[in-house]
């Protein structure tokens, strides 16, 4: 913009420098004004969106408990090469710090962190603090091992060392079903403890199926809306949007009432004679698909509708007059023009479905839980924010990968969101 203006003015030799300065000044004040106007929005986004997300992701690598509450031990552990049994000086620092932390009542918090690495570590620490052998004992490690034989196992000391670094990848590893072994090597978790990769794949699959159903159901609806007279289409649009304004929880619960074994649908079907025994329609994958498709359908229909609205009906007539069959005309003329709308709908529905959690929790069975449920569980029930952050990161990376593949294949620039 500025360059275009600047070049022609260069021809007016004497006044040009002054004019350029004036122009620049005018442009600058405009820019400042523009910045001032968007500043509130920018601030709002930064405070409510960027900072919390960055903070959550940061939580997934933070490792502060041991360093904050047992600083001497953390330093001593850092100096230890974690080979063989812990040296006597380390054990003494450990004993002293455990007692201090117990007095300060911070030991339980350290224990909670260590419990993540080895289950039962929390009570081991508290028990040890309550019955700490005398500090001047010649072989403190032997005394500790006599108190609880677990202190003789290297993996407990290795877990302490893992917890003493400023940052850790333990949560991120756990999010992809991996962990450290006592030698500090990354190994797969045993199958009876591996879950998150399965859940991630399941989440992606459910989203894919929901997108596909929405596309096939939504396309004819959008076509109908776009082609019938406005007075009817407005009414239908209103019906489509009505669920939008109803609470998600209400809609989900309504499905429960409709689809349960003694629910409306089953009772009706048995009464008509469609089937004799109640059919399980809910608390399984089918229920998840039904409820999610219902919620997501408007997100597919609206972008399709807005694109179809802009396609002139003369195109199809022209194709027909050139001898194309209705199917050929649809495939060659109409369908390609609606692709930007379909692309936008697919993207919206897929990404929104990936993050869903309350609906699958209520209408799904035990093997239909999606990743967000595990994030919510870790954040609010287990209060393991490191794990919640790591799983959020996993989901975000999943979305980012999908988005980049999608934009490569479809081209995000051509999308029309309505």
Q: Which residues make up the interface to other proteins (CB under 8 A)? A: 104-109, 111, 115-116, 119-120, 122-123, 126, 191-195, 198-199, 202, 260-262, 283, 361-362, 365-367, 369, 374, 377, 382, 384
CA-CA distance, 227 to 316, in Å (whole number)? 12
Nearest approach in angstroms of CB 106 to other proteins is: 8
Nearest approach in angstroms of CB 4 to other proteins is: 59
101 vs 50, 97, 149, 157, 285, CA distance in Å?
Answer: 35, 6, 22, 17, 48
CA-CA distance, 176 to 398, in Å (whole number)? 12
From the list 307, 304, 305, 406, the residue with the least C-alpha distance to 354 is 406
Nearest approach in angstroms of CB 72 to other proteins is: 20
Q: CB 208: neighbour CB atoms within 10 A?
A: 15
Q: For other proteins, give the closer residue by CB, 25 or 193.
A: 193
Q: For other proteins, give the closer residue by CB, 108 or 320.
A: 108
**Whether the Cβ atoms of residue 114 and residue 170 lie closer than 8 Å to each other:** no
236 vs 135, 161, 291, 349, CA distance in Å?
Answer: 80, 64, 20, 21
CA-CA distance, 294 to 286, in Å (whole number)? 12
Nearest approach in angstroms of CB 261 to other proteins is: 6
Nearest approach in angstroms of CB 193 to other proteins is: 5
What does the buried/exposed string (b/e) look like for 112-142 if buried means 16 or more CB atoms within 10 Å of the residue's CB?
A: bbbbbbbeebbebbbebbeebeeeeeeebbe
Nearest approach in angstroms of CB 145 to other proteins is: 20
Q: For other proteins, give the closer residue by CB, 63 or 384.
A: 384
Q: CB 186: neighbour CB atoms within 10 A?
A: 11
Q: For other proteins, give the closer residue by CB, 28 or 130.
A: 130
Nearest approach in angstroms of CB 366 to other proteins is: 4
Lookup: tokens for 121: 């570590």
Lookup: tokens for 48: 């409510």
Q: What is the DSSP letter of 151?
A: G
Nearest approach in angstroms of CB 120 to other proteins is: 5
Nearest approach in angstroms of CB 194 to other proteins is: 7
Q: For other proteins, give the closer residue by CB, 111 or 341.
A: 111
Q: For other proteins, give the closer residue by CB, 63 or 306.
A: 63
Q: For other proteins, give the closer residue by CB, 31 or 127.
A: 127
Q: For other proteins, give the closer residue by CB, 123 or 234.
A: 123
Q: For other proteins, give the closer residue by CB, 116 or 156.
A: 116
336 Cβ neighbours under 8 A, 6+ residues apart? none
Q: CB 307: neighbour CB atoms within 10 A?
A: 24
CA-CA distance, 42 to 36, in Å (whole number)? 10
Q: For other proteins, give the closer residue by CB, 97 or 342.
A: 97
148 vs 40, 118, 278, CA distance in Å?
Answer: 59, 15, 56
Q: What is the DSSP letter of 278?
A: -
Nearest approach in angstroms of CB 192 to other proteins is: 6
Please list the alpha-helical segments (H only) found in 228-263: 230-241, 248-259
């Amino acid at each position: 913009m500025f360059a275009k203006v600047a070049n022609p003015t260069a021809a007016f030799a004497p006044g040009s420098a002054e004019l350029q300065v004036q122009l620049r000044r005018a442009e600058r004040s405009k820019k400042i004004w523009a910045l001032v106007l968007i500043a509130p929005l920018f601030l709002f986004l930064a405070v409510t969106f960027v900072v919390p997300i960055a903070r959550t992701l940061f939580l997934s690598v933070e490792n502060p408990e041991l360093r904050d509450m047992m600083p001497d031990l953390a330093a001593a552990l850092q100096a230890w090469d974690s080979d063989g049994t812990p040296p006597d000086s380390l054990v003494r620092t450990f004993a002293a710090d455990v007692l201090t932390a117990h007095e300060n009542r911070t030991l339980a918090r350290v224990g909670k962190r260590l419990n993540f690495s080895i289950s039962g570590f929390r009570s081991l620490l508290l028990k040890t603090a309550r019955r700490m052998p005398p500090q001047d004992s010649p072989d403190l490690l032997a005394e500790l091992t006599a108190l609880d034989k677990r202190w003789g196992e290297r993996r407990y000391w290795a877990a302490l060392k893992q917890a003493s670094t400023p940052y850790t990848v333990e949560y991120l590893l756990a999010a992809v079903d991996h962990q450290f072994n006592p030698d500090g090597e990354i190994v797969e978790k045993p199958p009876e403890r591996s879950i998150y990769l399965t859940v991630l794949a399941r989440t992606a699959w459910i989203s894919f199926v929901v997108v596909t159903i929405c596309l096939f159901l939504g396309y004819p609806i959008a076509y109908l809306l776009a082609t019938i007279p406005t007075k009817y289409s407005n009414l239908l649009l209103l019906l489509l949007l009505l669920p939008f304004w109803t609470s998600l929880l209400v809609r989900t619960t309504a499905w429960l009432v409709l689809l349960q074994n003694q629910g409306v649908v089953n009772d009706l079907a048995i009464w008509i004679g469609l089937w004799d025994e109640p059919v399980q329609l809910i608390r399984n994958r089918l229920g998840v698909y039904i409820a999610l498709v219902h919620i997501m359908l408007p997100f597919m229909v609206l972008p399709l509708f807005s694109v179809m609205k802009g396609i002139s009906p003369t195109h199809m007539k022209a194709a027909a007059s050139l001898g194309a069959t209705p199917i050929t005309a649809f495939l060659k003329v109409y369908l390609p023009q609606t692709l930007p709308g379909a692309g936008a709908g697919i993207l919206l529905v897929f990404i929104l479905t990936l993050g869903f959690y309350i609906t699958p929790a209520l209408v799904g069975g035990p093997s239909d839980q999606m990743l967000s449920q595990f994030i919510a569980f870790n954040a609010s029930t287990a209060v393991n924010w490191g794990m919640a952050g790591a799983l959020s990161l996993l989901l975000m990376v999943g979305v980012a990968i999908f988005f980049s593949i999608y934009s490569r294949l479809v081209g995000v620039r051509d999308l029309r969101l309505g």
